[in-house]
Amino acid sequence: MNKLFADSLSKYSTMPFELIIIDNASTDGSADFFESVGAKVIRNTQNFSYPYTQNQGIKIATGNVFAFLNNDIIVCPNWDKLLLETLKVNALDLVTSCGIEQVESKQASILLRRRWNYAKNFVNLFPTSTVSLKLMHKLMYGNWKKFCRKRDADFHNKVKEGFVGHSVFCTRKALDLIGLWDEKLQAADFDIYMRSKKRNLEFGDIKPCHIALNIFNHHYIRLTVRSKPVPFADADNIIKFEDKWSETERISLLKDIELI
pLDDT tens, residue by residue, 30-51: 999 999 999 999 999 999 999 9
In a domain, 1, yes or no: no
- 122 pLDDT tier (thresholds 50, 70, 90): confident
Q: Flag whether pLDDT at 157 surpasses 70.
A: yes
Residue 33 lies in a domain: no
For 229, list phi and psi in degrees, rounded to 5: -65, 155
Within 10 A of 133 (CB to CB), how many other CB atoms are there? 18
Q: Is residue 20 part of a domain?
A: no
> What's the domain count of the chain?
1
Question: pLDDT category, 126, cuts 50, 70, 90?
Answer: confident
Map residue 238 onto helix, strand or coil: coil
Kindly state whether residue 245 falls inside one of the protein's structural domains: yes
The pLDDT of 200-213, averaged and rounded, is 98
In a domain, 118, yes or no: yes
In a domain, 188, yes or no: yes
Confidence of residue 111 (pLDDT cuts 50, 70, 90): very high
pLDDT band at 114 (very low <50, low <70, confident <90, very high): very high
CA distances for 86 relative to 18, 154, 188, 211, 248, angstroms: 20, 14, 23, 10, 32
At 123 the pLDDT is: 85
Q: Which domain holds residue 232?
A: 65-254
Domain for residue 82, yes or no?
yes
